[in-house]
């Protein structure tokens, strides 16, 4: 089964076509990276993957984890790490622990406090990204790299099969970017978690992703990995 399988998918905002027949296949357990110029439609594609944009009136097909996206309902299976939101979190009055717990609400229920089982899941996710000692801190008081690791823990707490990341290390320093990618690679390799990541970080893609796509003029092009025969330097 493929984690993502799009065939000839179109998408328009009003009358303006952004995706012009996208073919995209990411096998389960794969690590795919997506690049493309500003305005190419990468965020639009991510919003489609997250079920945020309606495909009514569009053509083509899109199956996610074996289900037609129009019928897909198991969102616990899909983890999402957004772009670095330093400014967005600056005065956000929530602790690290609360941010992660909030992603467990479908299990906790809105009118119940997190129990022992849920607390354990939060602890496990925080330990995996090395942020357990920070669980009581306000998210806005952490560095950009630390915030991204918390958002990764938030995505991981439901043990998703598919992890989607949108330029996760923008504004994060070299050392923390390396560490962040190492974590993602480990989850991909050890837990067979499928990864789909939008990135402009060309130099790090070799050794990380097993497939690189580039979105250009509304269509998807697969690119040879740097270091492999046929690589033309164009990412
Ligand atoms: N809500 C919207 N309504 C109308 N047009 C939109 C909307 N969101 C994006 N667009 C347009 O769709 C096109 C693709 O935008 P999108 O944000 O998906 O590109 P992107 O590849 O993510 O760009 P960037 O790298 O700058 O983030 C752009 O021309 C953009 O102006």
pLDDT digits (tens, 9 = 90+) for 42-56: 999 999 999 999 999
Q: How are strands ordered across the β-sheet holding 78-81?
A: 78-81, 162-166, 194-198, 31-36, 211-216, 219-223
What are 182's two structure tokens?
Answer: 């190492």
- Domains assigned to the chain: 2-223 (3.40.50.300)
Q: Measured in angstroms, how far is the CA atom of residue 2 from the centroid of ligand 1?
A: 27
Percentage above 90 pLDDT, the chain: 64
- Cα 226 from Cα 47, distance rounded (Å): 28
Mean pLDDT value across residues 144-154: 92
Please tell me the predicted confidence (pLDDT) of residue 118. 82
Contacts of 200 (CB under 8 A, 6+ apart): 35, 167, 170
Which value does ipTM take for this structure? 0.97
Q: Which of 10, 15, 17, 39 to mutate to test the pocket of ligand 1 (most atoms within 8 A of CB)?
A: 39
Tell me the C-alpha distance between 129 and 181, whole Å.
11
Ligand 1 centroid to residue 44 C-alpha, Å: 6
When mean pLDDT is compared across 50-64, 117-131, 194-208, the lowest value belongs to 194-208
């Amino acid at each position: 089964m493929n984690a993502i399988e799009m065939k000839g998918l179109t998408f328009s905002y009003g009358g303006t076509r952004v995706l012009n027949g996208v073919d995209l296949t990411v096998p389960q357990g794969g690590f795919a990276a997506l690049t493309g110029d500003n305005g190419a439609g990468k965020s639009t594609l991510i919003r489609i993957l997250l079920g945020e944009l309606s495909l009514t009136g569009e053509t083509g097909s899109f199956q996610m984890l074996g289900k037609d996206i129009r019928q897909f309902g198991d969102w616990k299976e899909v983890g999402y790490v957004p772009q670095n939101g330093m400014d967005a979190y600056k005065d956000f009055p929530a602790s690290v622990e609360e941010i992660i717990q909030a992603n467990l609400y479908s299990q906790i229920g809105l009118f119940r406090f997190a129990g022992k089982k849920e607390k354990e899941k939060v602890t496990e996710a925080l330990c995996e990204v090395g942020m357990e000692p920070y669980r009581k801190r306000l998210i806005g008081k952490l560095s950009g790299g630390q915030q991204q690791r918390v958002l990764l823990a938030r995505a991981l707490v439901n043990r998703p099969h598919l992890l989607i990341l949108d330029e996760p290390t923008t504004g994060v320093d070299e050392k923390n970017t390396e560490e962040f990618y190492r974590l993602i690679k480990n989850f991909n390799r050890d837990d067979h978690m499928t990864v789909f990541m939008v990135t402009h970080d060309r130099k790090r893609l070799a050794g990380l992703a097993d497939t690189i796509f580039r979105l250009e003029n509304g269509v998807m092009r697969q690119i040879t990995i740097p270091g492999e025969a046929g690589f033309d330097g164009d990412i």
